[in-house]
Structure 1
Amino acid sequence: MTPLQAATRETFWTIGPVGKAAFYWLAAVAILVFLYGVYARFAAYSRGRADPQDRLSELPRRTLAATKTVLSNEKQYDRDLYAGIMHTFVLWGFLVLVVATAILGFDIDVYRPLTGESFWVGDFYLAYQFVVDAFGLLFVVGVGMAMYKRYRNREGRLWGKHTSLEDDAFIWTLFLLGVGGFLVQAVGIVGQPERAGETVSFVGMAMAAGLQWAGLTQAGAEAIYGVVWWHHSLLAFAFIAWIPYAKPFHMISSFANVVASDEKAGARLPNVPADLDQTNAESIEDFTWKELMDGDACTKCGRCTDACPADTVGRPLDPRDVILDLKAYRESVTDDPVVGRSKGAVTDGGVAASATASDGGTVPIVAESGGVIAAESMESCMSCMACMDACPVDIEHLTSFTRMNRQLVDEGAVDTNVQDVFQDVMRTGNTFGESAASRADWTDELEDVEVPDAREQEVEYLWYVGDYPSYDDRNHAVARALARIFDAADVEFGILFDDERNDGNDIRRIGEEFLYLELAGHHVETFEECSFETIVCTDPHSYNTIKNEYPEVDFAAFADDPVMPFDREEPWNPDGETAVKHWTQVVEELVQAGRLGLSGDELEYTVTYHDPCHLGRYNDEYEAPRELIRATGATLHEMPRSHESSFCCGGGGGGLWIDYDEEIKPSEERLREAVEDTAAGDAIEKFVVACPMCTTMFEDGRKTGGFEDDLEIVDVAELLIEALDA
């Protein structure tokens, strides 16, 4: 047998039978502590409410999809190439080292006792050693990259009030495990001359050469090997046992969180039960098991906060801290030694999270003062879903935020302007407080275009116009432009006139669930009385809630409620048989069919386009508006934050109705980006939008931010009409 064919090594070199027995005993203890911790963590989620969505349906498909997401690290690369590479090195290095250890354990403890021989020899051993060295090196490099990213800038997104010694212990433990493994290998190579030809262990060989250069002899290596080996083994056992009790648990909970994620989370919010005794966020037990698991899945990476427009402009909202504050409070009110601290404990960030307030009462989850979460944090949220899009582990921030908003509404603790909006909608059906009879007055100035009543005749497109195009002077122009486009394309369309009311999308996200139910019920019954093929929405907010949320409403649960203005027990459009589209999707199809006669060279403007949150991130529609812009001949330049990274105008989640005390508005920051950070710079002539709320917010930001001489705010529909007129 040649040396290569006989290549192997003794796993327990110099350890002895007593040491070997101690090793197995400690390994069993570490694994048992680990398994109990994992069990206790997941058992704790059962204290939360049942989730309204079936999170575990099609579990094999979910698991496979989550495995692809996690192993590919695709979400880690989003917006941060460095972090993506770093996490890929750490993840794959760690996984390969774990698998390699399992293979060696199988050979020693199963294969050898059964067969009397080992497969861990020759070519397999040499290939094994090369792979372990290669991925072990990637692991150490990745951890080193993580340490550099963490410590080079202590003001960066990795630092916050919840940053603690736990984070340092985690990253340093990984580093010591990676380097320690190579050190054990190098000392073993120096002490075992028969391994001198083991060149496949290129990292171990290099370190061994360094140790020999430093004066380590064969005898010295044999003398210290046991100390180095035990140091590495004990650290590995301690790490395994520690995983379920601290930050390392995210390695498990993050994967579980991705498995249990809802692909429509945020775009469709969970329904409120008809049970009037139901509470929303009075205690941590009001949150669902998935919402509780969100806290454990959080890695404190700060991507959500980095992407949050409210945080960017200085509003008191840090999405990461909200999730971690809820987690810290949950841990403070449980006596379970696995998942919680003792009652009255202090969070990692030094913020008291005791179960009782100073006056002896229970700490409220959300309140204007003295709560776990400040009410002004929830008021600052724009429901733009940037946090959720940025999160690599599928934490569903908006679901928990809405739960707390509902609690504030239940308590009447919402902004006075918002309360006025609620009253206007209840009284008149719109957020302007205007008469329902005047809803279609914008059609009076249309020349040569008749807008039919969809309640009286069959139409192809039932056009849901929305509040702002119906009542706002600036957006009247958008509504009239779209009516002219439909007319030019010779499509049969109609509107609901005074039977149209506010769609309820933003009303719901502020927390007024029961008013939303009234609006949804009214519209669904109205839709049923009309004859049409497709619902077309001007506003992406309307498009989202009619498409994604109306079909989810459990009308039967409220059918006997005398307050609800509907008498219906069947769900509406549960299978999506009735198409619901944004107008840009419909008109883009008309343009492609040649029904508008555009040649593509009518306009010569240099423009940029703003992706509305409810059209883009909510519903993944990015190309239809861009195709329409290009169809006019305008030259489109993208802003740095575009598509799924688009920066919110500030109008969502009730932002349109609340006056914030802020130095810079989200709309002003976005317009600054358009004229300063876009490649075309000050050559940008028009800032193009596809949302009436965005139009309103940016027209305001254009004035208050001093951009009136820099660019013009136009809707895609207005751009199309100018091209048609040209």
Structure 2
Amino acid sequence: MAIFALAEAAGTTRPTFWRIGLTGEAIFYYLAAVTVLFFVYGVYNRFARYTDGEEDWFDRLDDLPGRMTRAAKTVITNEKQFNRDLYGGLMHSFILWGFLTLLIGTTILAIDMDGYRKFTHYFLGGEKSFFVGSFYLAYSLVMDAMGLLFVVGISMALYRRYWVRNERLWGKHTGREDDLFIWTLFLLGVGGYLTEGVRILGTSAVRNVDFETVSFVGWFVKDLLSAAGVTPEMAMTWYPVTWWAHALIALVFVAAIPYAKPFHMLSSYANVVTRDEKAGKRLPGVPSDASPDEIGASSIDDFSWKQLLDQDACTKCGRCSSVCPAKASGRPLDPRDVILDLKQYRENLDMGGDEKPIIADGGSSVIDSSTMESCMACMACMDACPVEIEHLSSFTEMNRRLTESGQMDVNVQDAMMNVFQNGNAFGDPERRRPEWTEELDFEIPDARDEDVEFLWYVGDYPSYDERNRRVARSLATIFHETGVSYGILYEDEQNDGNDVRRVGEEGLYEMLVEDNVAAFEECDYDKIVCTDPHSYNTFKNEYPEMDEDFDSPVYHYTQVVEELFQSGRMGLSGTELDYTVTYHDPCHLGRYNDEYEAPREIVKGTGCTLDEMPRNRANSFCCGGGGGGLWMDFEEDSKPSEERIREALEDTDAGSGVEKFVVACPMCMTMYEDGRKTGGYEDDIEIVDVAELVVEALGAEEKIKVSN
């Protein structure tokens, strides 16, 4: 461009502190210093407050440079903002990228004015500036372009919040703080362009400003002002007013960052830096010397410093609330409100407010017990959160307090007692665990007596629940027909403890880990394969945390069966199936452990036509059985299982043409068989497990239909 070629010769730049004067400049620097002091003091206090929390169970600061780099990538790319929400992702990207550019641009100007110019003046004998010529023009172009992006992003946010009134943006914690935050950003963006337009118009009275066309938004504002009758002389008069108005808003905003919602700009990044890559998949433990009164969260500082940071990182965006199946079903849980209730209580307490229990039954506490009992431990909230808040770890601490204080749900208490006494949630004798094997026409190998490749952990529901016993027999048939080297523990198997831990019974969980690992060690095997994704998760991600010597490779059965398909060992001797089916991703297999393809490849391998539900893979909607939900009764507007079956029959491309609802989890099987009855879908769709489809495709059903 010609304007860039002539820039150096023309001495192109803009005046700084134009018409502000030396006194005004001194006042500005004084206010800026006060602003920095307020900012630094506030940030220090906020981060120092976290040290009052407990030490976190996991190392959050190892490989700090790597953590900071990965967090910067996550923040800059806004990758989690785009999750399920293209509009929101673009909106936040425009705001973030624009804000960072304006921040960097302001920093560059400060370096030139307060660093380079003064250095050259005092040490090189003459003041110089790099804020001239081509650099200035490039700077102005980038600042105007990215500033416009910032204003567009803020406008998108205003439109969504106040015009569309997106439901997830409004809640019990929405208030004036949110209004002030978004409107202040809008004023900063628009005010910057107004100030620039007034400056260009005013300086045109004393010099040629044609080069300022590179500041295309500011030039456009200048033209609008001229069209409105504003003269260069009037702009010169009013420029100090617009400049000071813009400067004071900016200074107040910066000073307020540590004390209000804008703090999330810092705390969110810190939260992403300190995240646990296995958050939710593994839960924090309990110190071995902790007394019952010290287990769980009875005061705000019983939470770890990371859990306190989680509270400050929350932006009130409501993404967690919008995907929570408990909230959608009418249960008294909103994950955003839980995090913000804790934050509000902490801040009120720090201001001299009254102390009260963190969680209890009856409404006298910060969080009511029914709220935590509603959680399905599905991790949808954590998956949706763009700032890596680890809801489940805080929820577990509160569940532990309920357990230790004797306030656990009665049905859950019964299930825990059954597990404690009999090793299973049904309360049936241990000797009955292998009864499901008796109706097969072949023997199930005993892993206690012979070497096997796969130690098959069957699980409670496939062992004791009659509907899920059919699944166990189906999987046994697959292993038998394909020559897999496998064996089971028979009556030595006990509950895996995954959901025991998530309802807060940490002591019982530790006992189960010890007993199961001891049983495993008595066997000679290479790998563990699980029927239940809940078992798969806890063996894979949590047992190694409890017993450092436990390092067995762990698989879900769909991963093993898929490998049988891939290796050619799954010779389908029967007629391939031609059902139209849909598949439900179990939370503990999919969202917890990122296994989405193995079950789908198996379903397709049987010849079925797979029609995906709108909510699939990481966006799957929980069946309602996790986190102890299988053992509890709730008043629900619509059971999660009923809603999910409705989705299969109404929202898939095939609609009512879907013949089978395919699952890969015993808990899902139980919940959906129940939902099929209570929702009135018994004549519309059949619930089947992946293993049952494979057996039908193998033509080996006769081997497992003895009692069906």
| Shorter-chain TM-score tier | over 0.9
1:546 to 1:18, Cα distance in 2 relative to 1, 3 A: same
CA distance in 2, matches of 1:106, 1:600: 76
Q: Secondary structure of the residue that 1:714 maps to in structure 2?
A: strand
- CA RMSD after TM alignment: 1.3
Is residue 467 of structure 1 aligned with residue 476 of structure 2?
A: no
Cα deviation 1:591-637 (Å, max 9, x = unaligned): 10001113997111111000000001111111110010011010111
Is residue 148 of structure 1 aligned with residue 159 of structure 2?
A: yes
Aligned equivalent of 1:713: 687
Q: Secondary structure of the residue that 2:641 maps to in structure 1?
A: helix
Q: Secondary structure of the residue that 1:536 maps to in structure 2?
A: strand
CA distance in 1, matches of 2:467, 2:357: 46
CA distance in 1, matches of 2:671, 2:621: 13
Structure 2: stretches of 5+ with no match in the other structure? 121-126, 701-708
Alpha-carbon distance, 1:663 to partner: 2.8
Match of 1:399 among 393, 396, 402: 393
Match of 1:388 among 379, 382, 389: 382
Is residue 111 of structure 1 aligned with residue 104 of structure 2?
A: no
Cα deviation 1:96-117 (Å, max 9, x = unaligned): 0000001111111111122321
Is residue 343 of structure 1 aligned with residue 317 of structure 2?
A: no
Is residue 218 of structure 1 aligned with residue 232 of structure 2?
A: yes
Aligned equivalent of 2:439: 445
Aligned equivalent of 2:419: 425
Mapping 1:368-387, distance limit 5 Å: 368-387=362-381
CA distance in 2, matches of 1:581, 1:149: 44
Aligned equivalent of 1:688: 662
Alpha-carbon distance, 1:16 to partner: 0.7
CA distance in 1, matches of 2:358, 2:256: 32
Does the 8 Å CA contact 2:585/2:663 hold for their aligned counterparts? yes
Aligned equivalent of 1:191: 202
Cα deviation 1:65-84 (Å, max 9, x = unaligned): 10000000000000111000
Match of 1:640 among 614, 620, 630: 614
Normalising to structure 1: TM-score of the pair?
A: 0.93
Alpha-carbon distance, 1:154 to partner: 4.0
CA distance in 2, matches of 1:508, 1:276: 16
CA distance in 2, matches of 1:365, 1:686: 42
Alpha-carbon distance, 1:380 to partner: 0.5
Aligned equivalent of 2:76: 71
Q: After TM superposition, what 4+ stretches of structure 1 lie above 4 angstroms from structure 2?
A: 1-4
Cα deviation 1:672-709 (Å, max 9, x = unaligned): 00001111111101000000000000000001001111
Aligned equivalent of 1:348: none
Does the 8 Å CA contact 2:359/2:402 hold for their aligned counterparts? no
Greater mean deviation of Cα atoms: 509-518 or 108-117:
108-117
CA distance in 1, matches of 2:6, 2:645: 73
Q: Secondary structure of the residue that 2:331 maps to in structure 1?
A: coil
Match of 1:318 among 334, 350, 355: 334
CA distance in 2, matches of 1:291, 1:633: 47
- Give the AA of the match of 2:675: G
Does the 8 Å CA contact 2:575/2:699 hold for their aligned counterparts? no
Does the 8 Å CA contact 2:396/2:504 hold for their aligned counterparts? yes
Is residue 477 of structure 1 aligned with residue 470 of structure 2?
A: yes
Aligned equivalent of 1:281: 297
Q: How many residues align?
A: 684
- Give the AA of the match of 2:64: L
Alpha-carbon distance, 1:4 to partner: 5.9
Normalising to structure 2: TM-score of the pair?
A: 0.95
Is residue 674 of structure 1 aligned with residue 648 of structure 2?
A: yes
Is residue 528 of structure 1 aligned with residue 526 of structure 2?
A: no
Aligned equivalent of 1:665: 639
Is residue 22 of structure 1 aligned with residue 33 of structure 2?
A: no
Does the 8 Å CA contact 1:284/1:365 hold for their aligned counterparts? no
Higher helix share: 2
Cα deviation 1:446-475 (Å, max 9, x = unaligned): 11x220110111100000000000000001
CA distance in 1, matches of 2:16, 2:185: 22
CA distance in 2, matches of 1:113, 1:26: 20
- Give the AA of the match of 1:211: L
CA distance in 1, matches of 2:694, 2:309: 47
Alpha-carbon distance, 1:488 to partner: 1.2
Does the 8 Å CA contact 2:160/2:166 hold for their aligned counterparts? no
Alpha-carbon distance, 1:368 to partner: 3.3
Aligned equivalent of 2:504: 511
Alpha-carbon distance, 1:526 to partner: 1.1
CA distance in 1, matches of 2:516, 2:672: 29
Does the 8 Å CA contact 2:574/2:699 hold for their aligned counterparts? no
Match of 1:594 among 568, 586, 596: 568
Does the 8 Å CA contact 1:76/1:87 hold for their aligned counterparts? yes
- Give the AA of the match of 1:269: L
Aligned equivalent of 2:704: none
Mapping 1:549-628, distance limit 5 Å: 549-553=542-546, 571-573=548-550, 576=551, 578-598=552-572, 602-628=576-602
1:659 to 1:30, Cα distance in 2 relative to 1, 3 A: same
Structure 1: stretches of 5+ with no match in the other structure? 335-341, 345-354, 357-361, 555-570
Q: Secondary structure of the residue that 1:197 maps to in structure 2?
A: helix
Match of 1:458 among 440, 451, 458: 451
Cα deviation 1:547-572 (Å, max 9, x = unaligned): 11111116xxxxxxxxxxxxxxxx23
CA distance in 2, matches of 1:603, 1:517: 44
CA distance in 1, matches of 2:358, 2:258: 28
Does the 8 Å CA contact 1:524/1:572 hold for their aligned counterparts? no
Aligned equivalent of 2:483: 490
CA distance in 1, matches of 2:637, 2:426: 27
Alpha-carbon distance, 1:152 to partner: 1.9
Q: Secondary structure of the residue that 1:110 maps to in structure 2?
A: helix
Aligned equivalent of 1:85: 90
Q: Secondary structure of the residue that 1:452 maps to in structure 2?
A: coil
Does the 8 Å CA contact 2:585/2:616 hold for their aligned counterparts? yes
Does the 8 Å CA contact 1:270/1:399 hold for their aligned counterparts? yes
CA distance in 1, matches of 2:211, 2:358: 67
Aligned equivalent of 1:567: none
- Give the AA of the match of 2:256: W
Q: Secondary structure of the residue that 1:199 maps to in structure 2?
A: helix
Alpha-carbon distance, 1:196 to partner: 3.2
CA distance in 1, matches of 2:340, 2:574: 51
Cα deviation 1:469-511 (Å, max 9, x = unaligned): 0000001110000001001110110000010011010011000
Aligned equivalent of 1:415: 409
CA distance in 2, matches of 1:529, 1:436: 18
Alpha-carbon distance, 1:23 to partner: 1.0
Q: Secondary structure of the residue that 2:581 maps to in structure 1?
A: strand
